A = this chain, B = another copy of it.
Amino acid sequence: MQTLSGTDEIKEIENGGITTPLGFFAAGTHAGLRYSKKDLGIIYSDVSANSAAVYTVNHFQAPPLQVTQQSIEVEGKLQAIVVNSACANACTGERGYQDALKMRSLTAEKFNLKDHLVAVASTGVIGEFLPMEKIQSGIEQISVGQTIKHTEDFQTAILTTDTVMKSCCFSAEINGKKVTIGGAAKGSGMIHPNMATMLAFLTTDAAIPQPYLYSALKEVTDVTFNQITVDGDTSTNDMVIVMANGKAGNDLLTPEHPEWKVFKQLLKLCCEGLAKQVAKDGEGATKLIDVIVEGAATNEEARIVAKQVVGSNLVKTAVFGADANWGRIIGAIGQCPVSLNPQMVDIAIGSIQILKNSEPQLFSNEKATEYLKNDVINIFINLNNGVGKGQAWGCDLSYDYVKINANYRT
C-alpha cells in the first residue's frame, strides 16, 4: 500500500481490482467469439448493489446500453454485469436488441436474479450480430470467484485491441469503516469519450444511495474518462458502470456526510487511474501525454484546451517523433472556442519553458528531444486569463496506429 500525497486518508491497493471490495466476484471465459482469447466476462455481487451508469452520447447507442439503462431504471440496482468482446452488437436493429435482452435473461437465470438486476455490455466490431449460441454456452459454463485469477480473467475477457489489462483499486476509512473501490476497463481505439468511449466497471462496498452514486459518477466522469482521447472518435457502445453494495457498513454517503469528499476522491482516483491506463494503451501508442492547463477563464474552458491539445494529430505525431515542435501546441490551443489573450500564453514541455507571454524562449532542442523520449510526457499550459484548471490524457500517434486500423477486421 502507498499513501498518496494530499489525500492522506486514501490508499492505493496494489494488485487490487473489482473483487477487492467486499462481496464482489468475477470471471472471464472463452465463449468462442474469438479464436482463442477470452471473450466473455461477468461481475457478480452477492447482494444487490445500488448502481449508476453513464453512456456514450453517440446517436447510435448500441442495444446493450439500452438494455442496461432499462435495468437500472427499475430500482437503481444491479447484481451482475455480463460483458462480451469481439462483437459490439451495434447497428444491429431489432434483432440486436432482442439479443441483448436474451444475454441479460440468460445471466439472470444463471444467478437466479430478476432480469433488471443484470447489466449488459459489448465491445468489438460494429454491425455484426452476436453469435447467441456461443454467448449462451459461455454464460452457462462460467464460474465466478474472488481470486486474482478470476479478476484477471474478467479483465482479459473484455479487451479488444488493448495490449494490457486495466485495473485500479483504492480504499479509505469512512466512519471508521474501510471503504474500497475497484475498477476494470477496456479501451484502445475509438477513444474520445463523451461520455466514455470505452467500458469501465467499478465496484465498491460503500453504502451510498443511488442518486448520489449517480451524481458522483457523473461529476467524476467529466474530469476523468471524458478527458481522454486516442483518436477523436466517439464509440457507439461505451459506458461506465459503478455498483455499490454497501457491505463496508459505513453510514449512508450523501453530500452532507463529513467524508463525502473522501468518497468522491476515491472514485476520482479510481476513474482517473483507469482513464490514464486506457490513454496510455491507445492503439499504437508508445507514450502517455498528460496536458495540464491553468489560467483559463473557467475549469470547463481549461478542459477544452487540454483535450484539444492532447487530441491534435500534429501534437501526437511530434511527440511520437520526440520533436519539440511547439507551434503545433499553439495551433491546437488557438482553435479552441474559449476566451484567451493570444499575447499571454505560457507553454512548458516537462520542466522546459518554451513560450512565455506568447514569446518563444531560448531552450535546448537536445534537452527537449531527450525529455520527449520518456514514457510520460507532461505539457503545461498557462493561459494567464483566469483561475480555471483542467487536465486531459492521450497518447502519441505512431505507425502502429495506422497499421492496426488499416487492417482491424483482418
Residues of A at under 8 Å CB distance from B? 57-61, 88, 90-93, 125-128, 189-190, 192, 194, 231-236, 311-314, 317-318, 320-321, 323, 325-328, 330-336, 340, 342-343, 355, 358-360, 397-399, 401-403, 405-410
Contact = CB atoms under 8 A, between A and B. Distances in A.
A401 B323 contact: no
Contacts of A331: 58, 60, 126, 190, 233-236
Contact of A313 (B233, B403, B409): B233
B355 A409 contact: no
A234 B60 contact: no
Contacts of A126: 326-328, 330-331
B90 A232 contact: no
Nearest to A410: B323
A345 B361 CA distance: 51
Contact of A327 (B93, B125, B326, B402): B125
Contacts of A61: 334, 342
A330 B312 CA distance: 22
Which of the listed residues A61, A231, A331, A358 has the most CB atoms from chain B within 10 Å of its own CB? A331
Q: What's the number of copies of this chain in the assembled complex?
A: 2
5 contacts: A91-B355, A125-B327, A314-B405, A325-B408, A399-B402
Nearest to A233: B314
A382 to B, nearest CB: 15
Contacts of A92: 360
A197 to B, nearest CB: 9
Given A330-B60, A402-B398, A407 B340 contact: no
A407 B91 contact: no
A128 B326 CA distance: 11
Contact of A317 (B91, B236, B334, B402): B402
Given A59-B333, A93-B359, A189-B314, 5 more contacts: A93-B343, A127-B330, A128-B360, A235-B331, A318-B408
B318 A406 contact: yes
Nearest to A326: B127
A398 B314 CA distance: 14
Given A313-B231, A314-B189, A402-B398, A88 B332 contact: no
A125 to B, nearest CB: 6
A8 B88 CA distance: 49
A236 B406 contact: no
B402 A320 contact: yes
Contacts of A398: 402
Contact of A234 (B59, B335, B355, B399): B335
A59 B326 contact: no
